[in-house]
Homo-oligomer: A and B are copies of this chain.
Amino acid sequence: MSVTAAQGFTAAGIAAGIKDNGNPDLALVVNNGPRLAAAGVFTSNRVKAAPVQWTEQVLRGGAVSAVVLNSGGANACTGPKGFQDTHATAEKAADALGGEHNAGEVAVASTGLIGVLLPMDKLLPGIDTAVAALSADGGEAAAVAIKTTDTVHKTASVTQDGWTVGGMAKGAGMLAPGLATMLVVLTTDADLDSATLDRALRAATRTTFDRVDSDGCMSTNDTVLLLASGASGTTPAYESFAEAVRTVCDDLARQLIGDAEGASKDIRIEVVGAADEDDAVEVGRSIARNNLLKCAIHGEDPNWGRVLSAIGTTSAAFDPDRLNVAINGVWVCKNGSVGEDRDLVSMKDREVRITADLATGSASAVIWTNDLTADYVHENSAYSS
């Protein structure tokens, strides 16, 4: 599991003192080769944290030898000093790792509160500690060290025919597409170049992390990296590899939804009968972001009127008098009006399935979200104070 499931990687997770509570807050993932191929996908927020700006540059070279990740501070909206701190972090890691490491191949990712400079007097010595702790079993510790409001650490892996894709993720709040507030590092020992990694990673994130929309809020720090060591000596067929990456991403994305801040329900919204996939995604996101519906689901109330209200705000192709909505398999709305008896709907389970049929075409999409709860409000009204 995690980033050390694949051969050729070592990792560590330690407490550098960035978090006041003494919890682990610094992770290091090292690719020991023979390859250093890498690809990355980043937040589409135009306000990008310093580590995102740095790592986007690193990725242009197509090679990543190590990733330094910290929780306890996002290093976003921190101006030129914030960027200098990220640069110094990469330089320090390259120095501490020695050998052929250079800062231009060290990715950096940060998560935590926006608008606060990182305590570099703790972070830089922490890198020495992390280097000393590197191990081929360090994947779990690394996954623990990137947690913020996560209640559990998140890892996944797939092994096939002698090669493996594994990974870790953090994310519990600010989950919205492009991407969710997440840091994700995936590793593989498959022998593939960075262009192939990039293709597989973009295809996978498009239908997994990018369709997690827990609270509609988009982060400044989202980073998903895929590193290949080539250590298995195996070059899998593209389709097999892409499917393995998608499976690991999907597993981690579901874990993010399952651990979303204050949530009591995981809501799977499937839009069917759409004219095209864009319409299906637009409608799914509109439903996922409807606060009134999210409150209703929290109250186990199959309030399909709020689904129709949400559909009605989109530009998707549909006729309001032909819309159908099922909640947990009961078609409570047929042809835009009252359908089966809403009392037939049981919503006791954590997972709630909403199907919205636009009755227009044959395209579909699935978006995941969570309910809106008093716990979400409490957790997010006290986060920085």
Chain A interface (Cβ < 8 Å from any Cβ of B) = 44-48, 74, 76-79, 82, 113-117, 173-174, 178, 215-220, 289-292, 295-296, 298-301, 303-306, 308-314, 318, 320-321, 323, 333, 335-338, 372-374, 376-385
Contacts and interface: CB of A to CB of B under 8 A. Distances in A.
Contact of A380 (B173, B291, B381): B291
A320 B47 contact: yes
A296 B337 contact: no
A180 to B, nearest CB: 13
A306 B77 contact: no
Contacts of A313: 44-46, 178, 218
B291 A46 contact: no
A292 B338 contact: no
B114 A45 contact: no
B381 A301 contact: yes
Contact of A174 (B215, B299, B309): B309
Nearest to A289: B216
Nearest to A310: B217
B309 A48 contact: no
A308 B79 contact: no
Nearest to A116: B338
22 contacts: A46-B311, A46-B312, A46-B313, A46-B314, A46-B318, A47-B312, A47-B320, A47-B323, A76-B305, A79-B338, A114-B306, A217-B291, A217-B309, A219-B309, A220-B312, A291-B376, A295-B379, A296-B380, A298-B381, A299-B381, A299-B382, A305-B384
A76 to B, nearest CB: 7
Contacts of A318: 46
Given A216-B289, A217-B292, A381-B301, A47 B336 contact: yes
A377 B372 CA distance: 7
B384 A335 contact: no
Contact of A296 (B291, B320, B383): B383
Contacts of A78: 337-338
Nearest to A53: B320
A241 B79 CA distance: 49
Contacts of A338: 77-79, 115-117
A318 B308 CA distance: 35
Given A45-B313, A320-B48, A380-B292, A217 B301 contact: no
A114 B309 contact: yes
B383 A79 contact: no
Contact of A312 (B218, B291, B312, B336): B218
A308 B385 contact: no
Given A291-B215, A292-B217, A305-B115, A311 B47 contact: yes
Contacts of A381: 295-296, 298-299, 301
Contacts of A77: 304-305, 308, 333, 336-338
Nearest to A338: B115
A295 B380 contact: yes
A290 B217 CA distance: 6
Given A217-B310, A305-B384, 12 more contacts: A46-B318, A47-B308, A48-B320, A76-B308, A79-B335, A82-B337, A114-B305, A178-B313, A217-B291, A292-B380, A299-B381, A374-B378
